[in-house]
Chains A and B, each alone.
Chain A
Amino acid sequence: MASYLEILDDDQGHELSLFCVPKHYEEDLDSVIIPNGLIKDRTERLARDIVRDMGGHHIVALCVLKGGYKFFADLMDYIKALNQNSDKSVPLTVDFIRLKSYSNDQSTNCVKVIGGDELSALAGKDIVETGRTMETLLSLLNECNPKMVKVASLLVKRTPRSSGYRPDYIGFEVPDKFLVGYALDYNEYFRDLSHICILSDRAKEKYKV
Protein backbone atom coordinates (compact mmCIF):
# COMPACT_ATOMS: atom_id res chain seq x y z
CA MET A 1 0.00 0.00 0.00
CA ALA A 2 1.56 3.26 -1.07
CA SER A 3 1.93 5.91 1.61
CA TYR A 4 0.96 9.46 0.77
CA LEU A 5 0.66 12.89 2.30
CA GLU A 6 -3.00 13.61 2.86
CA ILE A 7 -4.42 17.05 2.12
CA LEU A 8 -7.78 17.20 3.90
CA ASP A 9 -11.06 18.21 2.27
CA ASP A 10 -11.49 21.19 4.57
CA ASP A 11 -7.93 22.43 4.08
CA GLN A 12 -8.24 26.06 3.06
CA GLY A 13 -4.63 26.33 1.98
CA HIS A 14 -2.34 29.25 2.74
CA GLU A 15 -2.81 32.96 2.04
CA LEU A 16 -1.33 33.93 -1.33
CA SER A 17 0.57 36.82 0.24
CA LEU A 18 2.68 34.42 2.31
CA PHE A 19 4.28 33.03 -0.86
CA CYS A 20 5.85 34.33 -4.04
CA VAL A 21 3.25 34.05 -6.78
CA PRO A 22 3.50 35.54 -10.31
CA LYS A 23 1.78 38.92 -10.41
CA HIS A 24 -0.35 38.00 -13.42
CA TYR A 25 -2.12 35.29 -11.38
CA GLU A 26 -2.69 37.16 -8.13
CA GLU A 27 -6.41 37.74 -8.79
CA ASP A 28 -7.05 34.26 -10.16
CA LEU A 29 -6.11 32.12 -7.19
CA ASP A 30 -7.86 31.50 -3.89
CA SER A 31 -4.98 30.04 -1.94
CA VAL A 32 -1.78 28.00 -2.06
CA ILE A 33 -2.62 24.43 -1.17
CA ILE A 34 0.75 22.76 -1.74
CA PRO A 35 3.85 25.02 -1.73
CA ASN A 36 6.53 24.18 -4.28
CA GLY A 37 9.01 23.37 -1.51
CA LEU A 38 6.73 20.75 -0.02
CA ILE A 39 6.29 19.18 -3.45
CA LYS A 40 10.08 19.00 -3.83
CA ASP A 41 10.58 17.44 -0.40
CA ARG A 42 7.95 14.78 -0.99
CA THR A 43 9.36 14.05 -4.45
CA GLU A 44 12.81 13.62 -2.93
CA ARG A 45 11.41 10.88 -0.69
CA LEU A 46 9.56 9.20 -3.60
CA ALA A 47 12.83 9.10 -5.55
CA ARG A 48 14.50 7.28 -2.68
CA ASP A 49 11.64 4.76 -2.43
CA ILE A 50 11.66 4.15 -6.19
CA VAL A 51 15.41 3.57 -6.46
CA ARG A 52 15.24 1.20 -3.51
CA ASP A 53 12.42 -0.83 -5.13
CA MET A 54 13.77 -0.93 -8.68
CA GLY A 55 16.42 -3.39 -7.51
CA GLY A 56 19.16 -2.40 -9.92
CA HIS A 57 17.11 -2.84 -13.15
CA HIS A 58 17.50 -0.38 -15.99
CA ILE A 59 14.74 2.22 -15.61
CA VAL A 60 12.90 3.80 -18.51
CA ALA A 61 11.13 6.81 -17.13
CA LEU A 62 8.04 7.70 -19.10
CA CYS A 63 6.75 11.21 -18.74
CA VAL A 64 3.11 11.91 -19.44
CA LEU A 65 3.03 15.37 -21.01
CA LYS A 66 2.17 18.11 -20.52
CA GLY A 67 1.00 18.11 -16.90
CA GLY A 68 3.62 15.62 -15.77
CA TYR A 69 6.66 17.52 -17.00
CA LYS A 70 7.66 19.35 -13.82
CA PHE A 71 7.05 16.40 -11.54
CA PHE A 72 8.96 14.24 -13.98
CA ALA A 73 11.91 16.65 -14.18
CA ASP A 74 12.20 17.05 -10.42
CA LEU A 75 11.79 13.32 -9.78
CA MET A 76 14.52 12.52 -12.31
CA ASP A 77 16.83 15.09 -10.73
CA TYR A 78 16.48 13.43 -7.34
CA ILE A 79 16.94 9.93 -8.79
CA LYS A 80 20.06 11.12 -10.61
CA ALA A 81 21.45 12.67 -7.40
CA LEU A 82 20.95 9.34 -5.63
CA ASN A 83 22.64 7.53 -8.50
CA GLN A 84 25.63 9.87 -8.32
CA ASN A 85 26.08 9.60 -4.59
CA SER A 86 25.73 5.93 -3.84
CA ASP A 87 27.85 2.87 -4.55
CA LYS A 88 25.13 1.24 -6.59
CA SER A 89 23.54 3.11 -9.44
CA VAL A 90 20.89 2.32 -12.04
CA PRO A 91 20.93 3.39 -15.71
CA LEU A 92 18.09 5.71 -16.53
CA THR A 93 16.61 6.62 -19.92
CA VAL A 94 13.66 8.86 -20.62
CA ASP A 95 10.74 9.06 -23.00
CA PHE A 96 7.67 11.23 -23.40
CA ILE A 97 4.08 10.66 -24.41
CA ARG A 98 1.10 12.91 -24.54
CA LEU A 99 -2.40 12.18 -23.32
CA LYS A 100 -5.29 14.51 -23.87
CA SER A 101 -8.42 13.92 -21.80
CA TYR A 102 -9.50 17.24 -20.26
CA SER A 103 -11.59 20.07 -21.65
CA ASN A 104 -12.07 23.09 -19.39
CA ASP A 105 -12.18 21.37 -15.99
CA GLN A 106 -14.08 18.23 -16.92
CA SER A 107 -12.39 14.89 -17.53
CA THR A 108 -13.66 13.57 -20.88
CA ASN A 109 -13.93 9.93 -21.71
CA CYS A 110 -11.66 9.88 -24.75
CA VAL A 111 -8.00 9.33 -24.17
CA LYS A 112 -5.57 10.05 -27.00
CA VAL A 113 -2.00 8.78 -26.77
CA ILE A 114 0.58 10.57 -28.89
CA GLY A 115 4.28 9.80 -29.17
CA GLY A 116 6.74 7.57 -27.35
CA ASP A 117 8.87 4.73 -28.71
CA GLU A 118 9.93 1.64 -26.78
CA LEU A 119 7.91 1.70 -23.61
CA SER A 120 8.66 -0.19 -20.39
CA ALA A 121 9.11 0.42 -16.63
CA LEU A 122 8.31 3.64 -14.80
CA ALA A 123 5.49 5.99 -15.79
CA GLY A 124 5.27 9.43 -14.21
CA LYS A 125 1.89 11.08 -14.25
CA ASP A 126 0.88 14.29 -12.58
CA ILE A 127 -2.61 13.57 -11.34
CA VAL A 128 -4.73 10.50 -11.05
CA GLU A 129 -8.36 11.50 -10.87
CA THR A 130 -10.69 8.83 -12.20
CA GLY A 131 -7.83 6.48 -12.91
CA ARG A 132 -9.26 5.62 -16.30
CA THR A 133 -6.56 7.43 -18.27
CA MET A 134 -3.94 5.60 -16.25
CA GLU A 135 -5.60 2.22 -16.75
CA THR A 136 -5.78 2.82 -20.51
CA LEU A 137 -2.12 3.74 -20.57
CA LEU A 138 -1.13 0.73 -18.49
CA SER A 139 -2.90 -1.71 -20.78
CA LEU A 140 -1.07 -0.14 -23.73
CA LEU A 141 2.25 -0.46 -21.93
CA ASN A 142 1.66 -4.06 -21.00
CA GLU A 143 1.42 -4.96 -24.67
CA CYS A 144 5.16 -4.22 -24.89
CA ASN A 145 5.89 -6.89 -22.26
CA PRO A 146 7.97 -4.84 -19.85
CA LYS A 147 9.78 -6.58 -16.99
CA MET A 148 8.01 -4.36 -14.52
CA VAL A 149 5.78 -1.28 -14.71
CA LYS A 150 5.34 1.14 -11.85
CA VAL A 151 3.33 4.32 -11.75
CA ALA A 152 4.38 7.35 -9.76
CA SER A 153 1.79 10.02 -9.41
CA LEU A 154 2.31 13.30 -7.66
CA LEU A 155 -1.38 13.72 -6.84
CA VAL A 156 -4.33 11.38 -6.37
CA LYS A 157 -7.78 12.93 -6.05
CA ARG A 158 -10.39 11.76 -3.56
CA THR A 159 -13.41 11.54 -5.82
CA PRO A 160 -16.49 9.30 -6.09
CA ARG A 161 -15.75 9.03 -9.81
CA SER A 162 -12.55 7.13 -9.13
CA SER A 163 -12.18 3.68 -10.67
CA GLY A 164 -10.35 2.49 -7.57
CA TYR A 165 -6.97 2.51 -9.28
CA ARG A 166 -4.02 3.45 -7.01
CA PRO A 167 -0.54 4.23 -8.35
CA ASP A 168 2.50 2.50 -6.86
CA TYR A 169 3.98 5.76 -5.59
CA ILE A 170 1.85 8.66 -4.43
CA GLY A 171 2.98 12.12 -3.45
CA PHE A 172 -0.22 13.64 -2.10
CA GLU A 173 -3.88 12.71 -1.80
CA VAL A 174 -5.94 15.81 -2.52
CA PRO A 175 -9.57 16.93 -2.26
CA ASP A 176 -11.88 17.00 -5.28
CA LYS A 177 -11.23 20.63 -6.16
CA PHE A 178 -9.75 21.95 -9.36
CA LEU A 179 -6.05 22.49 -8.81
CA VAL A 180 -3.58 24.43 -10.94
CA GLY A 181 0.13 25.13 -10.88
CA TYR A 182 3.35 23.10 -10.98
CA ALA A 183 2.58 22.26 -14.64
CA LEU A 184 -1.12 21.51 -13.97
CA ASP A 185 -3.12 23.71 -16.27
CA TYR A 186 -6.51 25.20 -16.80
CA ASN A 187 -6.86 25.45 -20.56
CA GLU A 188 -3.09 25.83 -20.84
CA TYR A 189 -2.86 28.62 -18.24
CA PHE A 190 -1.13 28.30 -14.83
CA ARG A 191 1.58 25.89 -15.89
CA ASP A 192 4.03 28.69 -15.08
CA LEU A 193 3.01 28.78 -11.42
CA SER A 194 5.37 26.92 -9.09
CA HIS A 195 2.95 26.17 -6.23
CA ILE A 196 -0.20 24.08 -6.48
CA CYS A 197 -3.15 26.36 -5.86
CA ILE A 198 -6.92 26.38 -5.77
CA LEU A 199 -8.43 28.12 -8.76
CA SER A 200 -11.00 30.82 -8.04
CA ASP A 201 -14.45 30.58 -9.65
CA ARG A 202 -13.83 33.94 -11.26
CA ALA A 203 -10.75 32.61 -13.00
CA LYS A 204 -12.63 29.56 -14.28
CA GLU A 205 -14.83 31.96 -16.21
CA LYS A 206 -11.99 34.23 -17.21
CA TYR A 207 -9.91 31.50 -18.87
CA LYS A 208 -12.77 29.41 -20.18
CA VAL A 209 -12.48 27.99 -23.67
Chain B
Amino acid sequence: MTDRLVGCVQKEEGLVIPDDWPGYNLELFNYPEHYRGDIESVLIPHGVIMNRIECLARDILEEIGHHTLMVLCVLKGGYKFCSDLVDSIKSQSRSTNRQLTTRVEFIRLKSYLNDRSTEDLHIIGPEDLSIFKGKAIVDTGKTMKALLQHVKMFQPKAVKVAGLLVKRIPKGSETLPDYVGFVIPNRFVVGYALDYNEYFRDLNHICVISETGKQKYKV
Protein backbone atom coordinates (compact mmCIF):
# COMPACT_ATOMS: atom_id res chain seq x y z
CA MET B 1 0.00 0.00 0.00
CA THR B 2 1.26 3.43 -0.73
CA ASP B 3 0.80 6.17 1.82
CA ARG B 4 -0.08 9.61 0.50
CA LEU B 5 1.22 12.50 2.57
CA VAL B 6 -1.60 14.88 3.40
CA GLY B 7 -0.94 18.58 3.47
CA CYS B 8 2.21 18.59 1.41
CA VAL B 9 3.53 21.80 -0.11
CA GLN B 10 1.91 22.95 -3.36
CA LYS B 11 4.59 22.50 -6.01
CA GLU B 12 4.78 24.77 -8.99
CA GLU B 13 3.43 22.90 -12.00
CA GLY B 14 6.53 23.19 -14.14
CA LEU B 15 7.74 25.69 -16.72
CA VAL B 16 4.65 26.66 -18.72
CA ILE B 17 5.04 27.21 -22.45
CA PRO B 18 2.02 29.11 -23.80
CA ASP B 19 -0.03 27.89 -26.77
CA ASP B 20 0.72 30.94 -28.91
CA TRP B 21 4.48 30.74 -28.50
CA PRO B 22 6.03 29.94 -31.91
CA GLY B 23 9.34 28.64 -30.57
CA TYR B 24 12.83 29.76 -31.49
CA ASN B 25 14.23 29.96 -35.00
CA LEU B 26 16.18 26.77 -35.67
CA GLU B 27 19.00 28.71 -37.34
CA LEU B 28 19.97 30.29 -34.01
CA PHE B 29 21.07 26.88 -32.72
CA ASN B 30 23.32 23.95 -33.55
CA TYR B 31 21.52 20.90 -34.93
CA PRO B 32 22.32 17.86 -37.10
CA GLU B 33 22.52 18.75 -40.82
CA HIS B 34 20.38 15.80 -41.87
CA TYR B 35 17.29 17.41 -40.29
CA ARG B 36 17.49 20.65 -42.22
CA GLY B 37 13.99 21.48 -43.47
CA ASP B 38 12.32 18.86 -41.28
CA ILE B 39 11.86 21.11 -38.27
CA GLU B 40 9.47 24.00 -37.82
CA SER B 41 11.05 25.56 -34.72
CA VAL B 42 12.87 24.84 -31.48
CA LEU B 43 10.39 24.59 -28.62
CA ILE B 44 12.80 23.80 -25.80
CA PRO B 45 16.59 24.08 -26.30
CA HIS B 46 18.70 21.27 -24.89
CA GLY B 47 20.39 23.55 -22.36
CA VAL B 48 17.09 24.66 -20.84
CA ILE B 49 16.03 21.01 -20.53
CA MET B 50 19.23 20.34 -18.59
CA ASN B 51 18.69 23.33 -16.31
CA ARG B 52 15.16 22.21 -15.55
CA ILE B 53 16.29 18.64 -14.90
CA GLU B 54 18.85 19.95 -12.40
CA CYS B 55 15.98 21.58 -10.55
CA LEU B 56 13.80 18.43 -10.62
CA ALA B 57 16.72 16.38 -9.32
CA ARG B 58 17.13 18.82 -6.46
CA ASP B 59 13.43 18.57 -5.57
CA ILE B 60 13.50 14.77 -5.76
CA LEU B 61 16.56 14.59 -3.51
CA GLU B 62 14.88 16.85 -0.97
CA GLU B 63 11.75 14.75 -0.79
CA ILE B 64 12.84 11.15 -1.14
CA GLY B 65 16.62 11.32 -1.13
CA HIS B 66 16.93 9.20 1.99
CA HIS B 67 15.44 6.02 0.55
CA THR B 68 17.04 3.70 -1.91
CA LEU B 69 16.04 5.03 -5.26
CA MET B 70 14.83 2.62 -7.89
CA VAL B 71 14.45 4.38 -11.20
CA LEU B 72 12.19 2.90 -13.82
CA CYS B 73 12.94 4.22 -17.25
CA VAL B 74 10.21 4.03 -19.86
CA LEU B 75 11.94 3.26 -23.16
CA LYS B 76 12.57 4.41 -25.73
CA GLY B 77 11.46 8.03 -25.42
CA GLY B 78 12.40 8.28 -21.76
CA TYR B 79 16.02 7.22 -22.11
CA LYS B 80 17.66 10.62 -22.32
CA PHE B 81 15.49 12.18 -19.64
CA CYS B 82 16.15 9.22 -17.34
CA SER B 83 19.87 9.26 -17.98
CA ASP B 84 20.27 13.00 -17.45
CA LEU B 85 17.97 13.00 -14.42
CA VAL B 86 19.86 10.18 -12.72
CA ASP B 87 23.19 11.86 -13.50
CA SER B 88 21.98 15.07 -11.93
CA ILE B 89 20.60 13.25 -8.87
CA LYS B 90 23.88 11.42 -8.38
CA SER B 91 26.04 14.49 -8.85
CA GLN B 92 23.98 16.59 -6.45
CA SER B 93 23.87 13.84 -3.85
CA ARG B 94 27.65 13.40 -4.08
CA SER B 95 28.15 17.00 -3.03
CA THR B 96 25.88 16.73 0.00
CA ASN B 97 27.56 13.74 1.68
CA ARG B 98 24.34 11.78 1.44
CA GLN B 99 24.23 8.03 1.19
CA LEU B 100 21.95 7.33 -1.71
CA THR B 101 21.85 4.13 -3.74
CA THR B 102 20.34 4.49 -7.18
CA ARG B 103 19.36 1.60 -9.42
CA VAL B 104 17.88 1.73 -12.88
CA GLU B 105 15.47 -0.64 -14.62
CA PHE B 106 13.97 -0.38 -18.07
CA ILE B 107 10.58 -1.18 -19.54
CA ARG B 108 9.13 -0.55 -22.93
CA LEU B 109 5.72 0.85 -23.80
CA LYS B 110 4.38 1.15 -27.27
CA SER B 111 1.29 3.26 -27.88
CA TYR B 112 2.03 5.69 -30.73
CA LEU B 113 1.65 5.25 -34.47
CA ASN B 114 2.90 8.14 -36.63
CA ASP B 115 1.83 11.01 -34.40
CA ARG B 116 -1.33 9.52 -32.93
CA SER B 117 -1.75 7.94 -29.54
CA THR B 118 -3.36 4.54 -29.96
CA GLU B 119 -5.48 2.65 -27.44
CA ASP B 120 -3.26 -0.43 -27.17
CA LEU B 121 -0.61 -0.48 -24.56
CA HIS B 122 2.17 -3.05 -24.68
CA ILE B 123 4.39 -3.40 -21.65
CA ILE B 124 7.62 -5.27 -22.21
CA GLY B 125 10.19 -5.58 -19.47
CA PRO B 126 11.17 -6.76 -16.00
CA GLU B 127 8.63 -8.46 -13.77
CA ASP B 128 9.82 -7.13 -10.45
CA LEU B 129 9.29 -3.38 -10.13
CA SER B 130 9.35 -0.96 -7.19
CA ILE B 131 9.62 2.82 -6.51
CA PHE B 132 10.57 5.46 -9.01
CA LYS B 133 10.02 6.02 -12.73
CA GLY B 134 10.88 8.47 -15.46
CA LYS B 135 8.60 8.96 -18.39
CA ALA B 136 9.29 11.20 -21.35
CA ILE B 137 5.88 12.64 -22.03
CA VAL B 138 2.53 12.49 -20.37
CA ASP B 139 0.01 12.92 -23.16
CA THR B 140 -3.37 11.38 -22.46
CA GLY B 141 -2.21 10.12 -19.12
CA LYS B 142 -3.85 6.78 -19.92
CA THR B 143 -0.46 5.22 -20.53
CA MET B 144 0.80 6.49 -17.21
CA LYS B 145 -2.31 5.33 -15.33
CA ALA B 146 -1.99 1.82 -16.73
CA LEU B 147 1.68 1.73 -15.85
CA LEU B 148 1.09 3.00 -12.33
CA GLN B 149 -1.48 0.28 -11.69
CA HIS B 150 0.99 -2.27 -12.96
CA VAL B 151 3.72 -0.97 -10.66
CA LYS B 152 1.51 -0.75 -7.59
CA MET B 153 0.83 -4.45 -7.78
CA PHE B 154 4.36 -4.94 -6.45
CA GLN B 155 3.72 -2.87 -3.32
CA PRO B 156 6.55 -0.34 -3.39
CA LYS B 157 7.17 1.96 -0.39
CA ALA B 158 6.36 4.98 -2.52
CA VAL B 159 5.82 5.66 -6.20
CA LYS B 160 6.55 8.98 -7.81
CA VAL B 161 6.33 9.93 -11.44
CA ALA B 162 8.64 12.41 -13.09
CA GLY B 163 7.45 13.65 -16.45
CA LEU B 164 9.67 15.91 -18.52
CA LEU B 165 6.74 17.19 -20.59
CA VAL B 166 3.01 17.44 -19.87
CA LYS B 167 0.71 18.39 -22.73
CA ARG B 168 -2.28 20.67 -22.35
CA ILE B 169 -5.11 18.79 -24.03
CA PRO B 170 -8.89 19.23 -23.69
CA LYS B 171 -9.62 15.72 -22.43
CA GLY B 172 -6.51 15.75 -20.28
CA SER B 173 -5.90 13.31 -17.49
CA GLU B 174 -6.25 14.08 -13.80
CA THR B 175 -3.12 12.06 -13.19
CA LEU B 176 -0.38 14.66 -13.27
CA PRO B 177 3.18 13.55 -12.57
CA ASP B 178 4.67 14.45 -9.20
CA TYR B 179 7.57 16.21 -10.88
CA VAL B 180 6.96 18.17 -14.06
CA GLY B 181 9.62 19.73 -16.25
CA PHE B 182 7.55 21.67 -18.78
CA VAL B 183 3.87 22.16 -19.61
CA ILE B 184 3.59 22.39 -23.38
CA PRO B 185 0.95 23.10 -26.06
CA ASN B 186 -0.86 20.26 -27.78
CA ARG B 187 1.59 19.89 -30.67
CA PHE B 188 3.56 16.89 -31.78
CA VAL B 189 7.14 17.35 -30.61
CA VAL B 190 10.34 15.51 -31.45
CA GLY B 191 13.91 15.45 -30.24
CA TYR B 192 15.72 14.63 -26.97
CA ALA B 193 14.87 10.94 -27.53
CA LEU B 194 11.26 11.65 -28.61
CA ASP B 195 10.68 10.22 -32.04
CA TYR B 196 8.49 10.40 -35.10
CA ASN B 197 8.53 6.85 -36.46
CA GLU B 198 11.97 6.34 -34.90
CA TYR B 199 13.44 9.52 -36.43
CA PHE B 200 14.60 12.62 -34.47
CA ARG B 201 15.78 10.74 -31.41
CA ASP B 202 19.28 11.98 -32.31
CA LEU B 203 18.26 15.63 -32.06
CA ASN B 204 19.33 17.45 -28.90
CA HIS B 205 16.60 20.06 -28.67
CA ILE B 206 12.84 19.50 -28.36
CA CYS B 207 11.33 20.78 -31.59
CA VAL B 208 8.10 21.02 -33.53
CA ILE B 209 8.22 18.91 -36.68
CA SER B 210 7.47 20.58 -40.02
CA GLU B 211 4.96 19.36 -42.64
CA THR B 212 7.91 18.39 -44.85
CA GLY B 213 9.29 16.32 -42.02
CA LYS B 214 5.97 14.59 -41.37
CA GLN B 215 5.64 13.56 -44.99
CA LYS B 216 9.28 12.56 -45.38
CA TYR B 217 9.32 10.15 -42.45
CA LYS B 218 5.74 8.87 -42.67
CA VAL B 219 5.12 5.16 -42.26
If A18-B14, A41-B46 touch, does A36 touch B28 (CB 8 Å cutoff)? Answer: no
What secondary structure prevails in chain B residues at the interface with A?
helix
In this complex, which of A20, A35, A38 has the most chain B Cβ atoms within 10 angstroms of its Cβ? A20
**B24 contacts A20, CB within 8 Å?**
no
Range class of the A interface residue count: 20 to 34
Is A73 located at the chain interface by the 8 A CB criterion?
no
Range class of the B interface residue count: 20 to 34
Chain A 3-46 interface residues, beta-carbon cutoff 8 Å to B: 3-5, 14-15, 17-20, 35-42, 44-45
Chain B window 1-45, contacts with chain A (Cβ cutoff 8 Å), 1 for yes, 0 for no: 000000000001011000000001101111000000000000001
**B58 contacts A20, CB within 8 Å?**
yes
What secondary structure prevails in chain A residues at the interface with B?
helix
Is A195 located at the chain interface by the 8 A CB criterion?
yes
- Contact count A vs B, C-beta below 8 Å: 59
**B27 contacts A36, CB within 8 Å?**
no
Distance A17 CA – B54 CA, assembled complex (angstroms): 12
**A5 contacts B49, CB within 8 Å?**
no
**A37 contacts B28, CB within 8 Å?**
no
Is A58 located at the chain interface by the 8 A CB criterion?
no
Is A48 located at the chain interface by the 8 A CB criterion?
yes
Distance A174 CA – B175 CA, assembled complex (angstroms): 38
Residue numbers in B under 8 Å from A195 (CB-CB): 51
Chain B 193-212 interface residues, beta-carbon cutoff 8 Å to A: 205
Residue numbers in A under 8 Å from B70 (CB-CB): none
For residue A15, which residue of chain B has the nearest CB? B12
For residue B12, which residue of chain A has the nearest CB? A17
CB distance from A104 to the nearest CB of B (A): 29
Residue numbers in A under 8 Å from B45 (CB-CB): 37-38, 41-42
- Name A42's contact: one of B14, B15, B28 (CB within 8 Å): B28
CB distance from A35 to the nearest CB of B (A): 5
If A14-B15, A18-B12, A41-B205 touch, does A48 touch B51 (CB 8 Å cutoff)? Answer: no
Chain A residues with CB under 8 Å of chain B are: 3-5, 14-15, 17-20, 35-42, 44-45, 48, 195
Chain B residues with CB under 8 Å of chain A are: 12, 14-15, 24-25, 27-30, 45-52, 54-55, 58, 205
List 10 additional contacts besides A20-B51, A20-B55; criterion CB under 8 Å: A3-B25, A15-B15, A18-B52, A18-B55, A19-B55, A20-B54, A35-B51, A37-B47, A38-B45, A38-B51
